[in-house]
A and B are shown apart, each in its own frame.
Chain A
């Protein structure tokens, strides 16, 4: 048999063996059988000595081709078997990835804190910086300096808690206005988030709740900027399509004063129990700073004007998050807190 025929026979003999091989060990045996040092190819090439020198290159080339062909088949099969074995291993060792996650779940900030953060961020875009102040106040800062002298009927709406020492628990965040204006010269642009206290607790009131006060004092500030600021604020808070309405009102520390309503966010202004069938929700009080307040802090009311506003944080949180009772906000039931 010619060497060429032997080579052809080797390839045709090896090919089905490789194709039918099922393991890497077996495959290595096949490789050694045909291409190993003592394998079929080596045996065939021993016959080369008997061949004419002139024919040797052609036969050598044929031998190389046969070797390459077998090597390719072996490599392909090896890679195929490796892939399959890896896949089998992965299946064998796989965990159930559909089990729930394990670990400490994220905690929750209180809805009031979240609301204060949101409001502070919105007003921060307009340049309002956060200020804070004491919760136990003197009568002067809580009332007198804000143009609410003793025996003023407006004190009725501020059911006040008094301390044994004669101090008051602040009934609004407005005293911080006075502290800041006493300390700094205009322009002033601040917001004051904080806890305030009123002595009226029923289903819809809590003896302590949160307000955010805003104050802007500068030259030539007008009611138009007050409207602009609150319109922007309420639209950023409740959505760009939110209707906002300004109603004249009274606060001793502002003149003119107004209350601001938004179209009821619960019934889309159609009228419901929450908006008392008016389609409007009262959301904040505001006004141009009363000249008497400026006088108290030593500002010249002919030189500067300003506006102030106050918003109840609980009310905003309840409206935005659909919280039906203010009590939920002070009970700190985890089943409540974990919802937000």
Chain B
């Protein structure tokens, strides 16, 4: 909300400048978002009357005006379309200085001399935009220094309204805060008008006393609709509201002043002089004042002329029932509409108005009559209207908004929550400054704070913010007992992430939302649990079931930016559902592309080593130690049908690794040689790790024997290893592959594998016989059981 410093000073005698006021408001709980000087350093602008308007000889869009400032007549060329003969406007004469330091000089527009400029609200710095030249009220004297006359120079404080502080959505509300902070009196505006005691001709028929517990109406007649005086226009402008005509302006003015939304109807529209309040019926329609025909959501509160809807209660008026130039009699509405009902009306109609944002946060039930009288006073003063009868009202005194609120509290409670040592008197004084009455251990809540203040901790907050949060000591909490360990999943996440970093991986954190296309490509069939209702775009509408799509996109993104030799991983929640239950799993997944040793110059030292399956295997073995990782055949459709394996530990399948399926790689435009792995940390966390137990090692020398095997390429090495393990001597302590080659000499379908075996005994040195005999037996078994020859 925009607060004019000039206006505020009329309500409370602010003892400091705008900057310090902003600071004091902020530290007492009213957030000041910005402090903007406006209309400053405007000179040389005077009020002047347009005496004649003629067409420009050489330009269709320009006119030549003669304009009289009370002393001299000036010729000014303008492109404005809203000017007319007799209009009084701000004229910036030659030498004038306008908003942004703009200087007015003598000039020629398409050959016609122009001495000055007609000003809009924007040029004199009081509005961000305007509708043509600022037409001043017809009784404005000529030749006045406009800057002084219109009080152009002001400072606007933009205040952020907290959801619980609807009471600060008005000048009086902010002034109350300022008065409390500086311990100063609030100067309420005087209300003067000739009221009437005669019975009103108006009838209020409220069918929804819960939705509308109070509705007041006052008829006034002999109203003259015209422009508002400059002081009121300026105040509306300072509040960000565009002046329209005196009746509309008065309703806006009273709202800005005291926070009570007002509506002024053209009384002639109500033939039966009856105002109804009811809920809209199914399919009911109405044209709102923005000219749009709207289907009213059933249950939305509407104001009627006794039968048909003329306004959406508290949200927006109707097109036809509003004040026009021809209006001579008005009905001033001031009412209370239920906050949450207004809120749902706003949501359903997607309409938001200055009125509705006030109703939805709750207005002061007891101040409605004041606002109605204030408006009547202004209509009499500015529009010449006369009251036609007493104010008429419907009031539901049983409504919660009508009830006084009394809250029991003690200084001990408040100090016990704040950790303060405020005295009873200090607490009572702070509350009284904010409009509470305090008596016998109770505080009576001011009528403008009923929705906000619920329990004694609310009182503690009020005291703390007025005395100052800096008056509360700063103290560390006492140590507590044992601190629980992080969850096994989190521990794994942290540990494995750090190991992957050591292995050269970079962690990414990407948005978890993916496109339906991503989901389809990566094998996800999203259900209602993982599909968003109101995503920004379809590209971000599915909660991903794995990190794969994001890793692919990130890899492609970086490859497109000339990055290479990339090792990425991501860890975090992935999303799925099973029989309607959402399942969130913590996954750790990685994607690698390029060379293992990315330094370019190493090409001179060794051939560039392309990342290969086997290096990733050993990386995962290291990263997952002390788990004993094993590998079994995999079947993920996103991976290469042959070059993939499941990661298993014991009987638990914890993940998958493999080369990308070339089709998928093509879809994301990443190399098909890229390798992917994923580990389900929830499953991994269930696998227990045994504490290692010491195993003795031999004091006696070991003996090595090698077997050179010529095997068909189609024979997996694991088959050979299995036979070796089954038939080796118990004295064998280690088996390892130490040479591997394929060549044309061997044959296109053959390869040579050299396996080393280490023999060693705990108790003695092994003799040649001890080693050679079992070795020969093993070799015989290999040739017997497998299609291999020994070289």
| CA gap between A99 and B602 in the complex, in Å | 10
Residues on B with C-beta less than 8 A from A224 are 418-420, 472-475
In the complex, whether A335 has a CB less than 8 A from a CB of chain B is yes
In the complex, whether B506 has a CB less than 8 A from a CB of chain A is yes
Q: Please determine whether A189 and B529 come into contact, CB atoms closer than 8 angstroms.
A: no
In the complex, whether B756 has a CB less than 8 A from a CB of chain A is no
Beyond known contacts A208-B511, A256-B465, A305-B416: 15 more, CB 8 A cutoff = A106-B501, A107-B502, A113-B497, A129-B483, A152-B340, A161-B534, A163-B529, A165-B529, A165-B582, A218-B477, A228-B474, A228-B475, A247-B26, A257-B461, A258-B469
Q: Please determine whether B512 and A232 come into contact, CB atoms closer than 8 angstroms.
A: no
| CA gap between A153 and B160 in the complex, in Å | 14
Interface string of B404-445 (1 = CB under 8 A from A): 000000000000111110000000000000000000000000
A256 to chain B, nearest CB (A): 3
| CA gap between A199 and B469 in the complex, in Å | 33
Q: Please determine whether B461 and A246 come into contact, CB atoms closer than 8 angstroms.
A: no
Interface string of A264-282 (1 = CB under 8 A from B): 0000000000001000000
| CA gap between A195 and B599 in the complex, in Å | 36
Chain B interface size, under 10 / 10 to 19 / 20 to 34 / 35 or more: 35 or more
CB proximity to B under 8 Å, residues A123-167: 124, 126-132, 134-136, 150-154, 156-157, 161-165, 167
A162 and B457 in contact, given A153-B360, A250-B164 (Cβ under 8 angstroms): no
B481 to chain A, nearest CB (A): 8
A-B interface contact total, Cβ < 8 Å: 258
CB proximity to A under 8 Å, residues B505-533: 505-513, 527-533
In the complex, whether A231 has a CB less than 8 A from a CB of chain B is yes
Residues on B with C-beta less than 8 A from A248 are 27-29, 461, 464-465, 469
A126 and B29 in contact, given A246-B470, A332-B508 (Cβ under 8 angstroms): no
Interface string of A186-214 (1 = CB under 8 A from B): 01010000010001010000111000000
Interface of A is mostly: mixed
A327 to chain B, nearest CB (A): 11
| CA gap between A101 and B484 in the complex, in Å | 42
* Chain B residues at the A interface, C-beta cutoff of 8 Å: 26-29, 31, 34, 162-165, 339-340, 343-344, 360-361, 416-420, 455, 457-458, 460-461, 464-465, 469-470, 472-477, 479-481, 483-487, 490, 494, 497-498, 500-513, 527-536, 540, 543, 554, 557-558, 561, 563, 566-568, 572-573, 575, 577, 580, 582, 584, 596-599, 601-602, 605
* Chain A residues at the B interface, C-beta cutoff of 8 Å: 99-110, 112-113, 117, 124, 126-132, 134-136, 150-154, 156-157, 161-165, 167, 169, 187, 189, 195, 199, 201, 206-208, 216, 218, 220-225, 227-229, 231-232, 245-250, 252, 255-259, 276, 288, 290-291, 305, 329-335, 337-338
A125 to chain B, nearest CB (A): 10
B534 to chain A, nearest CB (A): 6
Sampled A-B contacts (21; CB under 8 Å): A100-B601, A103-B597, A104-B504, A107-B502, A113-B497, A113-B509, A130-B487, A135-B573, A136-B584, A169-B543, A207-B540, A223-B418, A227-B469, A227-B472, A246-B470, A247-B26, A250-B164, A257-B461, A288-B457, A337-B506, A337-B508
Residues on B with C-beta less than 8 A from A255 are 455, 457-458, 460-461
B299 to chain A, nearest CB (A): 13
A168 to chain B, nearest CB (A): 10
| CA gap between A292 and B599 in the complex, in Å | 60
Q: Across chains A and B, which 9 residue pairs bring their CB atoms closest together, nearest first?
A: A224-B419, A222-B419, A248-B29, A256-B461, A248-B465, A164-B528, A151-B340, A332-B508, A104-B504
Residues on A with C-beta less than 8 A from B34 are 276
| CA gap between A208 and B511 in the complex, in Å | 6
Which listed residue (B420, B474, B484, B528) contacts A163, Cβ 8 A?
A: B528
Q: Please determine whether A334 and B536 come into contact, CB atoms closer than 8 angstroms.
A: no
| CA gap between A109 and B568 in the complex, in Å | 10
Q: Please determine whether B507 and A337 come into contact, CB atoms closer than 8 angstroms.
A: yes
A208 and B512 in contact, given A100-B599, A151-B344, A164-B528 (Cβ under 8 angstroms): yes
Residues on A with C-beta less than 8 A from B475 are 224-225, 227-228
Closest residue on chain A to residue B508 by CB atoms: A332
Closest residue on chain B to residue A150 by CB atoms: B340
Closest residue on chain B to residue A276 by CB atoms: B34
Closest residue on chain B to residue A160 by CB atoms: B534
Which listed residue (B461, B502, B508, B601) contacts A99, Cβ 8 A?
A: B601
| CA gap between A131 and B598 in the complex, in Å | 39
| CA gap between A252 and B530 in the complex, in Å | 28
Q: Please determine whether B536 and A199 come into contact, CB atoms closer than 8 angstroms.
A: yes
Residues on B with C-beta less than 8 A from A228 are 474-477
| CA gap between A167 and B504 in the complex, in Å | 38
| CA gap between A249 and B479 in the complex, in Å | 28
Q: Please determine whether B497 and A229 come into contact, CB atoms closer than 8 angstroms.
A: no
B163 to chain A, nearest CB (A): 4
| CA gap between A332 and B509 in the complex, in Å | 7
Residues on B with C-beta less than 8 A from A199 are 534, 536
A26 to chain B, nearest CB (A): 40
| CA gap between A303 and B372 in the complex, in Å | 47
Which listed residue (B29, B470, B558, B577) contacts A334, Cβ 8 A?
A: B558
Q: Please determine whether B563 and A335 come into contact, CB atoms closer than 8 angstroms.
A: yes
| CA gap between A232 and B458 in the complex, in Å | 26
Residues on A with C-beta less than 8 A from B455 are 255, 291
Closest residue on chain B to residue A138 by CB atoms: B582
Closest residue on chain B to residue A224 by CB atoms: B419
Closest residue on chain B to residue A227 by CB atoms: B474
| CA gap between A154 and B163 in the complex, in Å | 6
Q: Please determine whether A163 and B540 come into contact, CB atoms closer than 8 angstroms.
A: no
Q: Please determine whether B484 and A129 come into contact, CB atoms closer than 8 angstroms.
A: yes
A126 and B557 in contact, given A135-B512, A207-B511 (Cβ under 8 angstroms): no
Residues on A with C-beta less than 8 A from B469 are 223, 227, 246-248, 258
A38 to chain B, nearest CB (A): 45
Residues on A with C-beta less than 8 A from B505 are 107
| CA gap between A129 and B482 in the complex, in Å | 10
Residues on B with C-beta less than 8 A from A101 are 599
| CA gap between A229 and B476 in the complex, in Å | 6
Q: Please determine whether B464 and A225 come into contact, CB atoms closer than 8 angstroms.
A: no
Q: Please determine whether B543 and A153 come into contact, CB atoms closer than 8 angstroms.
A: no
Q: Please determine whether A206 and B162 come into contact, CB atoms closer than 8 angstroms.
A: no
Residues on A with C-beta less than 8 A from B340 are 150-152
| CA gap between A218 and B477 in the complex, in Å | 10
| CA gap between A107 and B502 in the complex, in Å | 6
- Of A108, A156, A207, A224, which is in contact with the most chain B CB atoms at under 10 Å from its CB? A224
Residues on B with C-beta less than 8 A from A225 are 419, 475-477
Q: Please determine whether B486 and A232 come into contact, CB atoms closer than 8 angstroms.
A: no
| CA gap between A163 and B580 in the complex, in Å | 13
Q: Please determine whether B480 and A187 come into contact, CB atoms closer than 8 angstroms.
A: yes
| CA gap between A128 and B486 in the complex, in Å | 11
| CA gap between A104 and B609 in the complex, in Å | 12
Residues on A with C-beta less than 8 A from B484 are 129
| CA gap between A275 and B558 in the complex, in Å | 33
Q: Please determine whether B416 and A220 come into contact, CB atoms closer than 8 angstroms.
A: yes
| CA gap between A100 and B536 in the complex, in Å | 48
| CA gap between A305 and B416 in the complex, in Å | 9
Residues on A with C-beta less than 8 A from B465 are 248, 256
Q: Please determine whether A333 and B561 come into contact, CB atoms closer than 8 angstroms.
A: yes
A43 to chain B, nearest CB (A): 51
| CA gap between A108 and B500 in the complex, in Å | 9
Which listed residue (A104, A110, A112) contacts B596, Cβ 8 A?
A: A104
Q: Please determine whether B557 and A333 come into contact, CB atoms closer than 8 angstroms.
A: yes
Q: Please determine whether A109 and B490 come into contact, CB atoms closer than 8 angstroms.
A: no
A247 and B457 in contact, given A107-B502, A112-B509, A153-B163 (Cβ under 8 angstroms): no
Q: Please determine whether A288 and B601 come into contact, CB atoms closer than 8 angstroms.
A: no
Closest residue on chain A to residue B501 by CB atoms: A107
Which listed residue (B418, B483, B532, B568) contacts A169, Cβ 8 A?
A: B532
B355 to chain A, nearest CB (A): 15
Residues on B with C-beta less than 8 A from A150 are 340
B464 to chain A, nearest CB (A): 5
Closest residue on chain B to residue A136 by CB atoms: B582
A294 to chain B, nearest CB (A): 11
